[in-house]
Structure 1
Amino acid sequence: MNNTLQNKRILIVGGSSGIGLAVAKQACKAGGKLIIASRNAAEKYEDLITAVGHGIEAHSFDVASEKQTAAALKKIGEIDHLVITSRPQITPALFVETDIKQAKEAFETKFWGQYQLIQKAHSHIRQNGSIVMTTGIAGEKIFKNFSTMTIINSATETFCRLLAMELAPIRVNVVSPGFVSPKPLEVEQYAEQFPAGRLASPDEVADAYIYLMKNSYTTGRSVVIDGGAMLI
């Protein structure tokens, strides 16, 4: 049973900020050997050492680029766990007002980016390893102005279950965060309605990724960290 991250090589794509950086910090404390990737991770290397710790690797590549992804994975080599926390930039808007070009770019990064990344990276993952993707409660609870992310997150949930079957014994799971700080004041006020009464911290969400990497009997599942948002 694999229940430790000690000396495990963990690639976190989108790991230079936000939830990904919180996962990197916790995984490093658990003894993992961190490989942090994002579009500008290499340029942030000194800052990442300060935030996460010495002994990390940093690689810059665009997850939407097959060529850059393949080149980076060749340099990285074998890994034990792959965590994907990259997220697109998209302006919230009603469906009829959504910029289609921006929506397509969001799909390229969030869905097709992780699709091609996993297709290339799965052969680099050692036995008893895992993949953890990131969705969001917009895939399960309907919010106005978030049609693009609702569709992407829903597709990713289904993709997870498919991969858990096809890539076994590699375990594949997703974390579905709710509203995570920092957020605008109106979102903070909205979160006061939740049973938890507040936004989540990145560290609270990161706990779920650590659990999914360590627990060797969980696959094909979505772990929701939403403070009870879906109950209202």
Structure 2
Amino acid sequence: MNILIAVIAGYVLLAIGIFTIIHFACKKSKKAVWGLIPLVTGGLILFIVTLMSIGQFLETSKNLLPSFKKEIDHVSGCNFTGDDSSFLKLNEDGTFIWYKYKEEQELTDDYASGNYFIYIGDHAIDFIEYKLPHLKCNRNLQIEMLKIAEVDISDYYCLVLRDVTGNIDGNHDDIVSHVQYYGFYCEGDCLALINMENGTYTYMTKEE
């Protein structure tokens, strides 16, 4: 209500200022400068009201946005050994190498490499829902899955592998453009990963 009154007052002062300037200017009177007082005052009032309105809008928008708490990342920059004898190295620079066999960590052996991205908790849910719509896995479905699995949302992960190339059976080539996994970080520094394209499951243990 106060803002509305201020807006009306601002426009009234602008109108008075403009009318005063035009009226005395037509008479070629120096009193025309008097019109600058209400003109400037009205303009200043409208400017302040505009700033206040923008501030209120930004504050309201901020409150409407989902609040994401900062999740602890237990995965980035770590190494994991899979129950299938594979070995996953997630480097701190955002690159990865996934060897088919842990004991054969040479680039001449079977491996895949590329870049990786980690999404945790609410970020993982939103990424899967909005960036992977073909999976038809919305927030409610994911929350229900977490409840059934008795997993806290802070332990919910989405691992995205991109620009994947590798050496498989002696053939060095692009394998796929990207692969997405969702999974859970479990007690004992373990990571359960499920390939979202083919449903294959990998259970991995963090290396010290």
TM-score, normalised relative to structure 2:
0.23
Higher relative contact order (CA 8 A, sep 6+): 1
TM-score, structure 1 as length reference: 0.22
Structure 1 or 2: more strand by fraction: 2
